[in-house]
Amino acid sequence: MNLPAEVITVAMAKAKSQVGVGTDRCYALASDVETARTRCTPEGRCRVGAIISRDGRERFDAWLEVCTGLVKLVQQAGT
C-alpha cells in the first residue's frame, strides 16, 4: 500500500486536533512509514500512530482510511 510520510503527518495533525483542543499536554506519536504500512488492513485502513492526552490518562490509536483521508481515534483499553 502506498502510504507516504506526508499522509501520516497530516493524519496525525487531524487526530491531535480531535482530542488535544485546549491543552498543551497532548502528544501525537506518529509511526514511521514502514511500521504504518505493516499495520494496514486489507480494507485500506492503517494505524498511523497514537495520541496521548490529559497527562497520559487518555490514549488513542490513530487509524487512517487511506482512500478517503478520514482519521478515526480508537481509545486504548484501560484508559
**61-79 per-position pLDDT tens digit:** 999 999 999 999 999 987 5
Is pTM beyond 0.85? Reply is yes
Q: Stretch 31-36: mean pLDDT, rounded?
A: 94
pLDDT for 13 equals 93
Write the secondary structure of 1-65 as one string of H (helix), E (strand) and C (coil).
Answer: CCCCHHHHHHHHHHHHHHHCCCCCCCEEEECCHHHHHHCECCCCEEEEEEEEEHHHCEEEEEEEE
Distance CA 44, CA 21 (A): 28
In terms of residue numbers, what domain contains 42? 5-75
- Number of independent structural domains in the chain: 1
**34-55 per-position pLDDT tens digit:** 999 999 999 999 999 999 988 7
pLDDT for 48 equals 97
